Amino acid sequence: MMMKRFCKVLRGALEKRNFEVLVANDVSGGIMLAEQSVPEYAVIDLRIGYESGLELVKKLITLDANTQIVMLTGFASIATAVEAIKLGAVHYLTKPANADEIVAALNKNEGDTTVSISETPLSVKRLEWEHLQKVLMQYDGNISAAARALNMHRRTLQRKLDKRPVRE
């Protein structure tokens, strides 16, 4: 419900900025829309229901390598950010992101050297969460395989992944 409301608000904000907006609420719907009309720009959530938005990034890039894609997420991790960029996204934003930030990210073609570097190291909880995300990516999102690799029970890994990371 929250995702649909966010999509509706973002759609209105982008239409006010003269973007033609099509909305899909699942990966298969996004693929279907993209095949009918290949987008110039795409804003994709990392988690679309229980699916990974990374699948949609991959498909959009195969349809048109010039599609400008911004990945949005409430579960920011270094592993997913790197994976999104490797698959073809031009930028990665953590929620809440407003329409101006999203439009700026869509129009970015290169990195920003003025981004400040944090002086404080990541907390142990954040490092653990990042490591779990990295291992999960190595196993293509397969929680059972990642849990075996981590020598951890699958349900324990699921619980740890469902928690939001500690904000730094």
pLDDT of res. 165: 60
Q: How large is the average pLDDT for residues 35-54?
A: 86
CATH architecture of 2-106: 3-Layer(aba) Sandwich (3.40)
Model confidence over 138-160: pLDDT tens digits?
787 788 998 999 999 989 888 88
What are the DSSP calls for 15-60, one per residue? HHTT------SSHHHHHHHHHHS--SEEEEESEETTEEHHHHHHHH
Given the structure tokens 């469902």, which residue do they identify?
Answer: 162
Is pTM beyond 0.85? Reply is no
The rounded Cα 132 to chain-centroid distance in angstroms is 16
8-state DSSP, 157? H
Model confidence over 79-123: pLDDT tens digits?
777 788 888 888 888 777 788 888 888 887 665 545 554 556 667
- CA 61 – CA 51 distance, rounded (Å): 18
Spell out the domain ranges in the chain: 2-106, 124-162
CATH 1.10.10.60 fits 124-162, yes or no: yes
Confidence of residue 168 (pLDDT cuts 50, 70, 90): low
Could you tell me whether strands 68-73 and 91-94 are parallel, antiparallel, or unpaired per DSSP bridges? parallel
Instruction: Kindly state the tokens that stand for 95.
Output: 């929620």
pLDDT of res. 52: 83
